[in-house]
Amino acid sequence: MYSNFINFVRGIYNTSNFIPLHEPRFIGNEKKYLNECIDSTFVSSVGKFVDLFEKNIAKYTGSKYAIACVNGTAALHIALILSGVKQNDEVITQPLTFIATANAISYTRAKPLFIDVDKDTLGLSPEKLDKFLKNNTYVAKDGCHNLDSGKIIKACIPMHTFGHPARIDEIKVICDKYHIELIEDAAESLGSYYKGQHTGTFGKLGTLSFNGNKTITTGGGGMILTNDKKLAKLAKHLTTQAKVPHKWEYVHDFIGYNYRLPNINAALGVAQLEQLPKFIENKRTLANKYKSFFEDNDIKFISEPKNSKSNYWLNAVLLKNRDERDKFLKFTNENGIMTRPVWELMNKLEMFKNCQVENIENAKWLADRIVNVPSSVIV
């Protein structure tokens, strides 16, 4: 089967060369807009493309406001600050996630608290979340208190893994019940919808990423989504060093951050966003090809969950066990096809090993079996 897979992927991408996991496609107005940006000399944090990119992302996702940042991690960091997360608070997230989620929590000097995922969505489990909160917390005037640590659980960050939406409406109901701020890590799910609504727009705040390996890219880049006008204004203020607007004076009224997306990156993003519908259509076609191939070879392909329309950012399969996973990884990579396992579970990393972690049997099971396969747009 492994040899058949190599031939199958090479046939899809029509090449005998090395095939990466996910590479960007620049086949639209990228060069035109970049040249326009350079000619204008506005290549840093001020320029028409930053404003246009924000406007277009807001329109595409259905969010009232979008605030561009230098990367998705910075967007998460600001979203946590806007949610009132402070030192010694706790933030619930999932152990099966990219490290940026846990790192952003740490930037606020809060502590991650890891709750299990569901096998079908790969995202935070509403049942596990509800069970933990019911058995281990109480709600007071100042928030939701963790009985084990005595700390306040201030926020919850579910992540839409590989572009597959979590059951975010159920998670929101639970968070509201326990007075916990919901922040969606939609870094991987631009173009994904749950029950007809774009991911990243269910909570008060959501975040996107435009890293070089994402569905569309600005090189680096991220975005904060919100329907709250005051939060949007504050987000833009904090990401531009909290400088009070003035023609010549330098006055700052908060500790701010140099997180504003440069205009030259935004120019790339505007061009990429124009192609996003075609990119997603292409990727969904690729996913169907993979699904058929793996069904014929008795390997489970991870399909979009119920009530979802996924962007299929990274296609993934489940091998029978860890040993089979490692054999598949070794064979494919030695034969010029890049495949990757899922991330190391966050609670296993040195800096997070002392964080509270509940029963994460699903996350462990998935981590032993998931393999990502090449998912670039076919050209």
Whether residue 258 sits in one domain with residue 133: yes
In this structure, which amino acid lies at residue 113?
Answer: L
Domain count, the chain: 2
Whether residue 282 sits in one domain with residue 242: no
- Domain for residue 314, yes or no? yes
- Domain for residue 207, yes or no? yes
> Rounded to 5 degrees, what are φ and ψ at 160?
-85, 90
What is the C-alpha to C-alpha distance for residues 116 and 359, in angstroms, rounded to an integer? 7
Q: Of 217, 251, 275, which closes a domain?
A: 275
Q: Of 240, 275, 310, which closes a domain?
A: 275
In this structure, which amino acid lies at residue 66?
Answer: A
CATH number of the domain that residue 86 is part of: 3.40.640.10
Whether residue 134 sits in one domain with residue 104: yes
- Domain for residue 379, yes or no? no
Specify whether the CB–CB gap between 222 and 74 falls below 8 A. yes
Whether residue 97 sits in one domain with residue 196: yes
Strand extents, DSSP E, the chain? 65-69, 90-93, 111-114, 137-140, 143-146, 152-157, 181-185, 193-194, 197-198, 205-209, 222-226, 300-301, 308-309, 315-318, 340-341, 370-373
Whether residue 323 sits in one domain with residue 179: no
Whether residue 147 sits in one domain with residue 204: yes
Specify whether the CB–CB gap between 319 and 339 falls below 8 A. no
Query: Among 75, 277, 31, 89, which Cα is nearest to 186's?
Result: 75
Q: Of 260, 275, 290, which closes a domain?
A: 275
- Domain for residue 378, yes or no? no
What is the C-alpha to C-alpha distance for residues 82 and 70, in angstroms, rounded to an integer? 17
Q: Strand pairing of 308-309 and 340-341?
A: unpaired
Residue with tokens 């494919």: 332
What pLDDT sits at residue 61? 98
What pLDDT sits at residue 214? 97
Task: Determine whether 313 is exposed, middle or buried from the number of CB atoms within 10 Å of its CB (0-12, 13-18, 19+).
Answer: buried
Which residues in the chain come in under a pLDDT of 70? none
Helix, strand counts (H, E) of the chain = 12, 16
- Domain for residue 351, yes or no? no
- Domain for residue 369, yes or no? yes
CATH number of the domain that residue 281 is part of: 3.90.1150.10
Question: CB within 8 A of 306, min separation 6: which ones?
Answer: 120
Whether residue 297 sits in one domain with residue 199: no
Whether residue 335 sits in one domain with residue 198: no
Whether residue 235 sits in one domain with residue 305: no
Whether residue 271 sits in one domain with residue 163: yes
Whether residue 251 sits in one domain with residue 213: yes
What is the C-alpha to C-alpha distance for residues 327 and 179, in angstroms, rounded to an integer? 46
Whether residue 291 sits in one domain with residue 155: no
Structural domain boundaries enclosing 113: 30-275
